[in-house]
A = this chain, B = another copy of it.
């Protein structure tokens, strides 16, 4: 039972909402529950305790994933659970050498998987003509994301922490070899799962003010001119408070998207996917 020092669900929703927007967006009144409180207080975790996940946790998380919508029920995703320390280390090395990944007891590889439909075609004795198109790859990648995001929220509801590893797209051909992936399957990103190391917990990271991202009826970018400099200041303050250096949002975005070199080789994605069997027509 919660004692008097436990914040109410309404307080947790309000605190999460205010932190998420760094105070720049008013919290809607009178709407709160456990799901919202969990989501709004999401924090990416980059250091984990060695504690193993309780029995059944992986299976329950994947049940949550399977419950996410999937385009036309095609279920063009799979997930590969890696718990072997040596294999996690290899995948961490292939993900821009991000060493913190090694602290996670579970590393989930989210697979855009058109191979199952390919095998179905073989069983039915027919060619699956749609598979070689960019649209089918996109459908599969989106399916992984709906499924994986359920896992992120479900994991946090169980006291676990997570971190998506987009760096797994740096060397997708080598990753496919490590995971034994058939043709027409690619690891779109990894997901670390484990109990957060309390010594490394950060604040909720602020996002752009809501009125910059939420448009009504038609697109309107007019509010950005004023909002982005204010958000830059909020992110600079957040970064300093959390020991994350002194770059603001605009500077970080520039270093990531300004030069092809900031893509860590991922500008070759079309070639990578073709090597793995996707048509991307």
A residues whose Cβ falls under 8 Å from a Cβ of B: 16-17, 20-21, 25, 27-31, 33-36, 38-42, 44, 54-60, 62-64, 66-75, 77-84, 87, 111, 115-117, 119-121, 123-124, 126-131, 133-136, 138-139, 141-142, 145-146, 148-150, 152-154, 157-158, 163-164, 166, 169, 179-182, 185, 188-189, 204-205, 207-208, 210, 212-221, 224, 228, 235, 249-250, 252-254, 256-260, 262-263, 266-267, 269-270, 273, 280-281
Contact = CB atoms under 8 A, between A and B. Distances in A.
A130 B263 contact: yes
A80 B217 contact: yes
A60 B20 CA distance: 12
Contact of A62 (B60, B153, B214, B228): B214
Nearest to A264: B135
Given A33-B34, A217-B80, A224-B119, A130 B257 contact: yes
A149 B138 CA distance: 16
Given A20-B63, A130-B267, A166 B221 contact: no
Given A36-B154, A78-B214, A250 B124 contact: yes
A39 B150 contact: yes
A78 B20 contact: no
Total copies of this chain within the assembly? 2
Nearest to A157: B35
Interface centre among A31, A81, A121 (most CB of B within 10 A): A31
A135 B263 contact: yes
Contact of A28 (B33, B56, B214, B218): B56
15 contacts: A20-B66, A33-B158, A34-B35, A39-B68, A39-B153, A69-B164, A73-B252, A79-B213, A83-B216, A115-B221, A120-B254, A121-B257, A128-B258, A149-B150, A270-B281
B73 A249 contact: yes
A140 B41 CA distance: 23
Contacts of A179: 218-219
A25 to B, nearest CB: 7
Contact of A256 (B31, B74, B262): B74
Nearest to A127: B258
Contact of A224 (B56, B116, B249, B267): B116
A78 B218 CA distance: 12
A20 B69 contact: no
A269 to B, nearest CB: 4
A78 B213 contact: yes
Contacts of A207: 66-67, 70, 73, 75
A81 to B, nearest CB: 5
